[in-house]
Amino acid sequence: MTNELLLWLLPLPPLLAFALIVLFLNKSNKASHTVAILSVVLSWLGSMVLFLRALGIGAEALAEHPMHDSLVWLPGKTSLLRIGVYLDPLTAVTLFFVAWTIVMIFVYSVGYHNYGQPKGDHDEKGYPPHGATVEEHGHKHKVPSIEPMYARFFAFVSLFAFGMYLLVVSDNLLTLFAGWEIMGLCSFLLIGFWFKKESARAAAIKAFMTTRVGDVFMLLGIAYLYVATGSLAYTDVFNPEVLHQLAHSPAPVLGMSVAGFIGLLLFIGTVGKSAQWPLHVWLPDAMEGPTPVSAMIHAATMVSAGVYLIIRVFPLLHAAAEVPEFLSPMPIIAFIGAFTALFAATIAVAQNDIKRVLAYSTISQLGYMVAAVGIGAYVAAAFHLVTHAFFKALLFLGSGSVIHGMEHGVLHTGERIDPQNMYNMGGLRRKMPITFWTFLIGGFALAGFPVVTAGFWSKDEILGEAFAGHHMGVFWTLAVAALLTAFYTMRQITLTFLGEPRTEAAKHAHETPWTMTVPLMVLSVFAVGYGWVGVPKYFPVLGGLLPHWFQEWVGAVFHLYVKEEQAVSHSLVPLLVSILVSLGGLALGYVVYRGVTRADQPDPLARPLGPIFTLLKNKYYFDELYAFLFVRPAYWLAEVFTFRWLDRTVIDGILHAVARLSWNLGQFLRNYIDLPLINGFGDALGEGAKGFGRLFRAIQSGRVQHYMLVALAHVVAFLMLVYYYATMS
């Protein structure tokens, strides 16, 4: 098969699987997951073939002549709106991680939804499975039960995979947007998968509405781009001449160039999809969906799509930034990214829900990437995108495995505890060794554990670029965020896996079935190994030994637009800083949280002033020092400043003030204007309103022809107007 044909076919199997499951196979769980997994394996196979072929072509050649094919979508007079497929090095690496994570998540979902378990005792559609009673060896006990909407899950998730593939292989922004919206729909459906839970419904709506805000701006950007250039295909739009022209014509607002303004609009789309401040609010709530969904949304696909988009339109942003007369969008992007990175990291420190910590961490890591794009380090951003996809998918799936194990324990013991709260866990490393080791690898990658993990290399590269480009504000913000990242990661690992079980449930937790552990193992290979393809040149010793593949590969894409910067003498400061913050954070996290032994114990950081005394008896003065020096401020920043003050007091305060104001206004109106009026002229007013109602009621006659008449009359009037102006002017 030719490359182009393969590219065309790539998104189709999941779509087909979706259709098949929805239309025919939804009665059979086995057929549903078989078809779904088969479809994504097919897509995976195609992706791998394409990836290998792309490798064979080589970065330079592929960037010069990307695999590209297109069809007429709508024949128009001047420009042909075409749909097509496109594969350049950036697409290739994106396809690589998308294909792998999607397959892993699909396989994992089989285990997560308890395939092979009996039907639940009182499970119903729209609620998570509650467990089933089975009789074994003469006595009854509870085991997990199969998800009642098993087939539906696979249908949705297949559609989701289709959306992602469509987005990645499309050669223009319109189909990209189509894929983007399909994913938006699927994330809505999947977050609200257990639709009878109030919270899930709310979360689904919240996610949908919040991302919508970004999408509208993005659509505006796309429309503006189409108006400005007459095309949406990458090959047309990212033509140096077109870019030059766009960058030199002023946009009507904000003192920006057209390129910058379009870039900013598209970036707002990214802000929504990739959950950047201030549109980050939906992502933590999206944890209401099943865990594979969280992995899907927060790691492999949807949030990555935002960053993918912004890397994809990087030439536009770059061109805009090059022209000094106009305001550049880049600092805005850098600021939002860096701020989000720090802001989300501080929140993550104070969370107890295992998935919620990861959610905030995702926001923070996406902030890293966005900040990297904002300082012009798109290669570093892409690199972190890929490594993050792997280790965050791993972490989410790992957390799902933990929750699953805990649920098993909860069902067994009948305790009424939250299986997602880390304080209820502890000591799981012995119960769930595979989950533990893989989670450890993922966590270390997230924390940027030096040299061996992928996260280190990508994060280090971002820090290095920031330092080299003299973006010191970004650099230090990201460094602090990295420290916090390492800290909360270790906190999570410590609370979950280390120490002793703090509840009965944790004691009875189980390792999960192979369908869940195998994906974890596969992903952990990538979480470690993927970093080794992108070791920077200047890195001592290893830089010379290991390939510098990723930088060359992705770097080749935008070669045309971005002049290669002269080799800056890379200092070792960022390297040292990144090693320091990562190791420091990890150590800190471990040291602070290893003492948690009871489930109802308050967080060591949250200890109010009183119990400090009791703590003093403890021999960990070291803890206190750290707590005082770093942790408490960090916690304060997280809890008091960011959460209570910024979030609760300021943002909520404004909202409440508005609410109170309007309520008061309403009271005022009611008491001093409305009631007297009603007393005085109530009847007259009522009659008047009724009269008006009667009058206007005639408009809504419910008759088709009436509406048609009015519509046609307007059309006629409008046409006459148009004609009048067209001929007069």
> Which residues contact another protein (rule: CB under 8 A)?
71-75, 696-697, 699-706, 708-709, 712-713, 716-717, 719-720, 723, 727
Closest CB 85 distance from another protein, rounded Å: 13
Give the residue with the Cβ less far from another protein, 621 or 692: 692
Closest CB 11 distance from another protein, rounded Å: 16
CA 56 to CA 100: how far, in whole Å?
A: 20
Give the residue with the Cβ less far from another protein, 78 or 679: 78
Would you state the structure tokens that stand for residue 24, as one six-digit string? 């025919």
Closest CB 77 distance from another protein, rounded Å: 8
Give the residue with the Cβ less far from another protein, 663 or 723: 723
CA 260-266-270 angle, to 5 degrees, is 130
For 717, 726, 729, the CA distances from 720, given in Å and listed in that order, are 5, 10, 14
Give the residue with the Cβ less far from another protein, 69 or 674: 69
Q: How far apart are the first and last CA of the chain?
A: 57
210, 191 Cβ separation under 8 angstroms: no
Give the residue with the Cβ less far from another protein, 84 or 111: 84
Give the residue with the Cβ less far from another protein, 669 or 709: 709
- Closest among 7, 18, 25, 67 to 40, alpha carbons compared: 18
Closest CB 232 distance from another protein, rounded Å: 16
The position carrying tokens 């050669």 is 171
- Closest among 566, 568, 563, 535 to 550, alpha carbons compared: 535
SS3 category, 604: coil
Backbone angles phi, psi at 88, to 5 degrees: -120, 180
Dihedral angle of Cα 34, 35, 38, 40, to the nearest 10 degrees = -120
288, 94 Cβ separation under 8 angstroms: no
Backbone angles phi, psi at 655, to 5 degrees: -60, -45
Give the residue with the Cβ less far from another protein, 81 or 583: 81
Amino acid at site 14: P
Give the residue with the Cβ less far from another protein, 74 or 545: 74
Closest CB 70 distance from another protein, rounded Å: 9
Closest CB 697 distance from another protein, rounded Å: 5
Give the residue with the Cβ less far from another protein, 571 or 701: 701
Give the residue with the Cβ less far from another protein, 621 or 707: 707
Closest CB 696 distance from another protein, rounded Å: 8
CA 263 to CA 320: how far, in whole Å?
A: 8
Cβ contacts of 285 within 8 Å, gap of 6 or more: 191, 199, 202, 203, 206, 207
CA 528 to CA 539: how far, in whole Å?
A: 18
Closest CB 332 distance from another protein, rounded Å: 39
Closest CB 715 distance from another protein, rounded Å: 8
Percent helix, percent strand, percent coil in the chain, to nearest 5: 70, 5, 25
CA 588 to CA 583: how far, in whole Å?
A: 8
